[in-house]
């Protein structure tokens, strides 16, 4: 079965760079049509899509955060890494890793999420 798990720091200081790793199992990111992405949710607020990377290396980013985000994949390790530069307290949120299935099935599997707090 498909599982995803986020890992990374729980606390970062303002201006620092956040690096989050999504380690997944049950599928291959080399399978046509498959993607892995990141979505975040500030406490008590709505979901916000951040980035996606597809099996062929295609990358998509939120326009409002594009300058700060980088998404990469390591197919051999079954991992996707998201980096976000210049962190600010408003970036405090739960960050979710998601599986984007082929054939427009949407974000059909989610990680449990990891809460990242930005504070000095």
Partner 1 sequence: QSVLTQPPSASGTPGQRVTISCSGSSSNIGSNYVYWYQQLPGTAPKLLIYRNNQRPSGVPDRFSGSKSGTSASLAISGLRSEDEADYYCAAWDDSLSAVVFGGGTKLTVL
DSSP class of 89: G
For residue 39, the minimal CB distance to partner 1 (Å) is: 8
Choice between 55 and 107, CB closer to partner 1: 107
What is the number of other CB atoms lying within 10 angstroms of the CB of residue 32? 8
CB nearer to partner 1: pick between 46 and 90:
46
Which structure tokens are listed for 73?
């994949």
Residues engaged in binding partner 1 (CB under 8 A): 37, 46-49, 52, 60-63, 96, 104-108, 110-113
CB of residue 71 to partner 1, shortest distance in Å: 13
In the complex, minimum distance from the CB of residue 59 to partner 1, in angstroms, rounded to a whole number: 11
Cα angle, residue 68 at apex, residues 114 and 95 outer, rounded to 5°: 10
Give me the least distance between CB of 98 and partner 1, in Å please.
Answer: 9
Alpha helices per DSSP H over the chain: none
Cβ count near 82 (within 10 Å): 24
Our CB check for partner 1 shows the closer of 27 and 61 to be: 61
Q: How far is CA 47 from CA 32, 42, 50, 95, in A?
A: 27, 8, 10, 10
């Amino acid at each position: 079965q498909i599982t995803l798990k986020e890992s990374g720091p729980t606390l970062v200081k303002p201006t620092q760079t956040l690096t989050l790793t999504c380690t997944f199992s049950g599928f291959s990111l080399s399978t046509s049509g498959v993607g892995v992405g990141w979505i975040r949710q500030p406490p008590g607020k709505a979901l916000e899509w951040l980035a996606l990377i597809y099996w062929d290396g295609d990358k998509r980013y939120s326009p409002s955060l594009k300058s700060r985000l980088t998404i990469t994949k390591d197919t051999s390790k079954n991992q996707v890494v998201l980096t976000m530069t210049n962190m600010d307290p408003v970036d405090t949120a739960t960050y979710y890793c998601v599986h984007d299935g082929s054939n427009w099935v949407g974000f059909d599997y989610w990680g449990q999420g990891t809460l990242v707090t930005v504070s000095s």
